Structure 1
């Protein structure tokens, strides 16, 4: 079920003032008048894990900022086989401007909070705001860099290094306290072990075996099957093979 909420008020929208996408995401490129204009057409909504947000080849009518949670990007083959090709986190911009159809499947990997706005509105603002265009371009370049780095992970790293690299990526993006200098982290795995295996090109048995190995060696702690605690991020990073 989708729950919508009006997000505008006088001046800078109240909910925008404390929004991560407002300060760190693309909306930070907008001046107050532009932000109010965007907010008047926007809606916040919660989406349950497993819900498809956009289908492959589906006509795109809106874009979103990810406010919380994890979004899974997948590509499917004609015989039904699927590959996870990326993950998005808050405050990422979700969508491909100036393209009429989606080229990927977009699914909520966890419960997700989104702030959505019409495609026509944001594309008009992109044309009017060089700073907004710059931020979207920078996000696209960051995603390209991440994709290239992930090609190395998939093509050259061992199973142990792949799983460690995945955990570091999740920790840095999910735990708000786990920035590049944070010594520790705690988070829930946003993917099942089967999905982790799909993302890393490993079997579910190999993923489970590597997680067990990291736990037995004291690199991670696992509670309730999916909650991970990393007491020393440096130790985990050393297992990545970078």
Structure 2
């Protein structure tokens, strides 16, 4: 595994809570793994064997319905933590949406390490609470917001989270120009909308000068204030 000193997410991942000696110890139980888009990492319902820090790329969390349909229930980005520490089963599958690199740990090794390092456990707790806040916000989006509000909120969220997967804007804030890791169909699956509704909303935003859409995956936000107003 390459040196943690050169890791691009070193200061933002959960291991930021550790000193250099502790990082060296954590380094000894981990390994890096490259994933191609579409590669699975964790399977829903299986024993919780792995946890990981995302170094690069984007991965999706999914559940399957009884009739075999896939539902995207979350997305993880660089510096995010994935897996189920201190748990027996994995409650969702994890699959690479784009080419990705992860720092991988056996769950049992990581559990023992975390138990011996309270600062790391504290960081894990904070991440869990932040994820709970995002989940509650997402419940509001799915339950109460209109199609227009859903798509606008989704694009704003992407612009804020994707800042770490490309060069940051000069001000260090959200990206106004980015590549979506999702197809229109996947956006619809995430938001509970049809692909036609997603396309119609994005086309309308382009017509109104709020967005520019050079390709089906490229988004340029031309009027952030209007997009924020649209998101409610």
TM-score by length of 1: 0.89
Q: Which residue of 1 aligns with 2:35?
A: 47
Greater mean alpha carbon deviation, residues 42-51 or residues 90-99:
42-51
Separation in 1 of the partners of 2:175 and 2:110?
38
Q: Which residue of 2 aligns with 1:92?
A: 80
Say if 2:52 and 2:83, in contact at 8 Å, map to a contact too: yes
Q: Which residue of 1 aligns with 2:179?
A: 188
Q: CA deviation at 1:180?
A: 9.7
Q: Which residue of 2 aligns with 1:10?
A: none
Separation in 2 of the partners of 1:230 and 1:129?
42
Q: Which residue of 2 aligns with 1:19?
A: 7
Separation in 2 of the partners of 1:170 and 1:239?
15
Separation in 1 of the partners of 2:159 and 2:99?
17
Greater mean alpha carbon deviation, residues 178-187 or residues 67-76:
178-187
Residue segments in structure 2 that go unaligned for 5+ positions in a row = none
Q: CA deviation at 1:183?
A: 6.9
Residues 184/21 of structure 1: CA separation in 2 closer, same or farther (3 Å cut): closer
CA-based RMSD: 1.8
Greater mean alpha carbon deviation, residues 225-234 or residues 135-144:
225-234
The reply to whether residue 140 of structure 1 matches residue 131 of structure 2 is no
Q: CA deviation at 1:181?
A: 7.4
Separation in 1 of the partners of 2:153 and 2:170?
15
Map 1:1-242 onto structure 2 (within 5 A): 6-7=1-2, 13=3, 16-176=4-164, 177=168, 182=173, 185-241=176-232
1:146-201 CA deviation, whole Å, 9 max, x = no partner?
A: 01001111111110110010011111011242699737521111111111101000
Secondary structure in structure 1 of the residue aligned to 2:9: helix
TM-score by length of 2: 0.92
Q: CA deviation at 1:21?
A: 3.3
State how many pairs are aligned: 229
